[in-house]
Amino acid sequence: MMTQTQENVLVPPLDLRPVLLMDICTIGVLKERESAYYGSDERKKTRIKQLAMMAESGLCRFSFLVAIIEKATDFTNIMNAEELSSVFQNDYDKIVNFLGRENILEPRELLSTMIGHLVDPRFNMEERAELSIPNSLKLLSFFNTLGIFSTPAKHLRFDIASSVAIEGERLGLAKGYPSIAICVASIYGCEEARKILKIKKDGREFNPSNCLGDIMTFYRVAKARHVIQSNIGDIPVIFRTEDAALESLHTYMQTCVVRENEDEGSVMNTRCLLPKKFFPALFKEGKCTDEKELNRLYSLLNFVV
């Protein structure tokens, strides 16, 4: 959990360029850029060229903050603040010449200070991540038992979505929790949500932890955006990942911090940015075919309109 004191870890510069949040995958691609140039992965080459053009243009800045939050809440490879600082200072050194020192939001010397605030030993992993991890894993396992690998019949969809929301509530998850919302999007035909959930027809080989890792990015990005905008101002903050489905989902749905306090921690809400992409079964040629059901979904998920 990030307190108000923890938020004030960035020195507000007089630079209002948009900020691009890099996840661990994007940082990894940049570190491997030289070998990628000689490889056969054309998409990776294109993505690196895009980042190069962004850096050369000087129109935005790049941030490590989402990747730091991701590593700080990693249950499989737990690191203390000193170890994390070493990792990210090393990453910084490997990509600073490619991006340009003036295009990186966090100065190298500030990384250890930021990480010291984010990896606060007073709070456990779940509190840092702002996620009820065990309950989200249970919800995803429940959803796997429903076998939603294609779009259900129209008369069944809302009832199935309601059953997911009810199970989420039973597990103590808030209405519209990203794990609930993405399951519901899958019911309504969102292919990107299905790619994240990785539900197979036979229900086998399902790994809820892998799904949750991607779903957690909505909270990481919300935290990072809040920290940056609280310190710098209301500037555009964009999420960058090398997972095409996940990157698209972040343009369909957005989670935001609405307030921070010591009793509640981070209070967040979620809005649907592109309903025709998030609930495609309710749209035809870009127009909603059932406004009533769409409104019921917004109510079910407590989406901000």
**In percent, how much of the chain has pLDDT > 70?**
89
Kindly give, in sequence order, each residue whose CB lies less than 8 Å from that of residue 146, ignoring residues fewer than 6 positions away.
160, 163, 164
DSSP state of 104: B
What does the pLDDT look like over 192-231, one tens digit per residue? 999 999 887 766 778 888 899 899 899 899 999 999 999 8
Return the pLDDT at 14. Answer: 56
Q: Does one domain contain both 160 and 223?
A: no
Band (pLDDT 50/70/90 cuts) for residue 263 is: low
**In percent, how much of the chain has pLDDT > 90?**
66
What is the rounded average pLDDT of the residues 144-161? 94
For residue 226, give its domain range: 4-129+217-256
What does the pLDDT look like over 49-75, one tens digit per residue? 999 999 999 999 999 999 999 888 877
Return the pLDDT at 268. Answer: 81
Asked whether residue 268 is domain-assigned, the answer is no
Q: Does one domain contain both 125 and 237?
A: yes
Domain count within the chain: 2
Return the pLDDT at 12. Answer: 42
What is the rounded average pLDDT of the residues 169-176? 91
Band (pLDDT 50/70/90 cuts) for residue 42 is: very high
Query: What is d(CA 54, CA 144) in angstroms, rounded to the nearest whole number?
Result: 40
Q: Does one domain contain both 177 and 290?
A: yes
Segment holding 17, helix H or strand E: none
Q: Does one domain contain both 24 and 74?
A: yes
What is the rounded average pLDDT of the residues 269-296? 96
Does the pLDDT value for residue 129 go beyond 60?
Answer: no
What's the chain's length in residues? 305
Least confident of 57-61, 109-113, 182-186, 259-263: 259-263
Asked whether residue 12 is domain-assigned, the answer is yes
Give φ, ψ of 199 to 5 degrees.
-80, 130
Query: What is d(CA 245, CA 297) in angstroms, rounded to the nearest whole number?
Result: 22
What is the rounded average pLDDT of the residues 293-304? 95
Does the pLDDT value for residue 6 go beyond 70?
Answer: no
Between the alpha carbon of residue 194 and those of residues 108, 132, 190, 211, 282, the distances in Å are 38, 22, 7, 10, 17
Least confident of 201-205, 234-238, 291-295: 201-205
Q: Does one domain contain both 150 and 203?
A: yes
The token pair at 235 is: 């500037």
What is the rounded average pLDDT of the residues 69-92? 88
- Return the beta strands (E) in 85-240 as ranges: 237-240
Q: Does one domain contain both 236 and 94?
A: yes
Return the pLDDT at 260. Answer: 73
Asked whether residue 14 is domain-assigned, the answer is yes
Question: Which range among 13-27, 199-213, 262-276 has the greatest average pLDDT?
Answer: 13-27
What is the rounded average pLDDT of the residues 132-154? 91
Query: What is d(CA 86, CA 83) in angstroms, rounded to the nearest whole number?
Result: 5
What does the pLDDT look like over 98-124, one tens digit per residue? 999 999 999 999 999 989 888 777 666
Does the pLDDT value for residue 265 go beyond 60?
Answer: yes
What is the rounded average pLDDT of the residues 139-165? 95
Asked whether residue 265 is domain-assigned, the answer is no
Q: Does one domain contain both 121 and 141?
A: no
Asked whether residue 267 is domain-assigned, the answer is no
